Chains A and B, each alone.
Chain A
Amino acid sequence: MAVTKEMVYDATKTVIDPEVGFDIYALGLIYDAKVEGDKAHVTMTLSTRGCPLHEMMKQWTKEAVEKIDGINSCEVEIVWEPEWNITMASDEVKKALGAL
């Protein structure tokens, strides 16, 4: 069975930001995912540019996606445009942070 974009998104839901306590997909940090054969490419951002977890988040995302059957390697690209904002997060996150 071919790996789909949704399966990659599901894998990113296992990566939790320990400061905020939500997964990076719910936080709206995942911008895009592409799958070509056994390779995945995830485009994501971080909630703040000076985040000390920068490389760890990238690594955790890579490891989570590479656990999918059929994916051998995953490249994670961190981008700063568009800048992340709370409207990108799920309603559950917005509510928990007091933004709803």
Chain B
Amino acid sequence: MAKNLATDMAPPFILVAHYFIAGAIFYMITAFVLPFYANDISGYFLSSSIASLMHLYLLGFVMMVIFGAMYQLIPVVLEIPIFSKDFAYVQFYLFVSGILIFTFGLWDETYTQIIPYGALLMYLSMLIFVANVFLTYKNIIRWDIVAKFILASNLFLTIGVTIGFIIALSLIYGYSVDILELVQMHIATTIFGYVIMTIMGVGMILLPMFSLSHGFKQKAIEMAFYAIIIGLLLFLIGTIVGNDILKFSGVFFCTIAIFLALYQMYLIFSTRIRKQNDFWAKNMMASFVTLIISFLMLLAGIVTQNETFYILFGFTLFFGFFTFFIVGHIYKILPFLVWYQRYSPLVGKIKVPMLNDMVKEKVADIQFWMTLIGLLLAIFAIGFKITLLFEIGAVIMGVGTLLVIYNIYFTLVYGIEELKN
């Protein structure tokens, strides 16, 4: 029998709000600096400049929001409370300080000596997060596909951040390791192993919930779960032993997993009851399309060995798939959290708003198109190395970001004045 999910088990609103607000700030910082990366983005894939941008965005926005959302979703999805809320606060402050120090060290070459300190803070914060998740799993009752995805993704995160920490130390202390191999394993385990696997797992709860889908089969996502694990293990082993066949088999299995997951999303969407293409649905569709584009770029990169395709893969995955998926869900999860905190005690006493009232729909709609148009221009600009076009695209995406921030603010302050009176 499930306990009181929404009250006893879920963390306090203020905890999740920490992560969402910090995520929004890092999203805004990325939007401001992105146009200045026009020259770097057409350069070498593994430059320190691109590493600073990607870490700022992936850690500051993508993973920050995911961590906050996981603290809210794990108790709801797994029907068990988070092991420690205090751990979550400690993790937050270590994580934010770590990101700031680490990305600044990568960005300004005169401060590279601070990189290991930032990396250490982030490493500790991640270890606290995974420990919190693993200790939470001690009490798990229901082992469904979502629970399996979350557990596996956190195991890969542990491996990924450990490799990341070794890379950071190697950059400064010059250990005799192959940095390129470590970077490949770091990218595979953190982006595919953690972020993408987490999205695949929680997507199985969030997508049917918000689209009111029922009666779809889950075989595709179950196969995707095993395919991505096999793929990642083959890739890691292939990299360690220096066997390209194993590495390519790993990429192949991961690609199969992504397309199986996309097919699962299609099955969910084809049985959806909510047919309106609101801002959430548009964001989801754009996220799936950009995921397909990014993978086509990855495959093109592997076939042609052209660096530009790898940059296009990373850019489309980060600023397309991750952005649309996360922004779409911020519009759903944040209003719920604010509504729950502010209005749920008043149900039956006063007229309470609907969750959709707490998002400026028109602004969200304009934001969606700005982000999409800006992204397409930037992708085109990277492909054809047109600096000015990249700057224009990045600025348009930045306007989209500001509109997201406006909507987050609108939701956070919704009803405060009215309830005072």
Task: Give chain A's interface residues, CB within 8 Å of chain B.
Answer: 14, 16, 18-21, 47-48, 50-56, 60, 63-64, 83-86, 97-99
Contact = CB atoms under 8 A, between A and B. Distances in A.
B289 interface: no
Given A19-B336, A85-B215, A86-B212, A52 B5 contact: yes
A63 B348 contact: yes
Interface of B: 2-7, 10, 72, 76-77, 146, 205, 208-210, 212, 214-215, 273-276, 336, 339-340, 343-344, 347-348, 352-356
Given A14-B348, A98-B274, 12 more contacts: A18-B339, A19-B355, A20-B212, A21-B354, A50-B77, A50-B146, A52-B5, A52-B76, A54-B2, A55-B4, A85-B273, A86-B273
B146 to A, nearest CB: 8
Contacts of B352: 16, 18
Contacts of B356: 21
Given A60-B347, A83-B214, A50 B273 contact: no
Closest 3 pairs between A and B when the two form their complex, measured CB to CB: A98-B275, A50-B205, A55-B4
A19 B208 CA distance: 13
Contacts of A19: 210, 336, 354-355
Contacts of A60: 347-348
Nearest to A85: B214
B6 A52 contact: yes
A55 B339 CA distance: 15
A38 B146 CA distance: 42
Secondary structure at chain A's binding surface: helix, strand, loop or mixed? Answer: loop
Contact of B212 (A16, A21, A53, A97): A97
B209 A51 contact: yes
Given A50-B76, A50-B205, A56 B6 contact: yes
A60 B345 CA distance: 10
B355 to A, nearest CB: 5
A83 B216 CA distance: 12
25 contacts: A18-B339, A18-B343, A18-B352, A19-B210, A47-B209, A48-B205, A48-B208, A48-B209, A51-B76, A51-B209, A52-B6, A55-B2, A55-B3, A55-B5, A55-B6, A56-B347, A63-B348, A64-B348, A83-B214, A83-B215, A86-B212, A97-B212, A97-B273, A98-B275, A99-B273
Nearest to B277: A98
A56 B344 contact: yes
Contact of B209 (A50, A85, A86): A50
Interface centre among B10, B77, B209, B210 (most CB of A within 10 A): B209
B74 to A, nearest CB: 11
Contacts of B72: 52
Contacts of A14: 348
Contacts of A51: 76, 209
Given A60-B347, A85-B214, A97 B76 contact: no
Interface centre among B210, B276, B354 (most CB of A within 10 A): B354
Nearest to B146: A50
Nearest to B210: A19
Contact of B6 (A53, A64, A83, A84): A53
Contact of A98 (B4, B205, B276): B276
A60 to B, nearest CB: 6
